[in-house]
Amino acid sequence: MNFLYLNSKTMGTGDDILGEQLLITFLKKLAESKHHIDVIGCVNGAIALTTQPGEALDALKILELKGAKIATCGTCLDFHDRRDQLLIGSVGTMEQTVEVMNLADRVIRPC
């Protein structure tokens, strides 16, 4: 199982605008590729990817159509008062994150 773990709306550290563009490009290229992602987990700042329209959400929709299950941290959504703004996937728990990380053959963490 391949688990894509996203913990930020940016890729790398430094300039946030550049980091956002890098992550969007990564997600688009991943969605266009033949690589299979089974589960995508979004925590902390990455909840913006599943609660706001945009290119990142569009790429996540393609990955979902290709079979990826998407879960966004419920604690994070509640902390930022965004649970009702979730646009894709389901609300996840830390127990699920622990389980998926332990079962995954590969954890991909671009952030």
CA distance linking residue 57 with residue 101, whole number of Å: 23
Q: What is the pTM of this model?
A: 0.95
Contact 40, 63 (CB under 8 A): yes
Structure tokens at 10: 């940016």
Distances (CA, A) of 27 to 76, 78, 98, 106, 107: 21, 25, 23, 17, 15
Contact present, 74 and 67 (Cβ < 8 Å) = no
Residue length of the chain: 111
C-alpha angle 102-49-42 in degrees, rounded to nearest 5: 15
Q: Which domains does the chain have, with CATH numbers?
A: 2-108 (3.40.1260.10)
Tell me the average pLDDT across 31-59. 98
State pLDDT tens for residues 64-111.
999 999 999 999 999 999 999 999 999 999 999 999 999 999 999 997
Per-residue model confidence as pLDDT tens digits over 8-42: 999 999 999 999 999 999 999 999 999 999 999 99
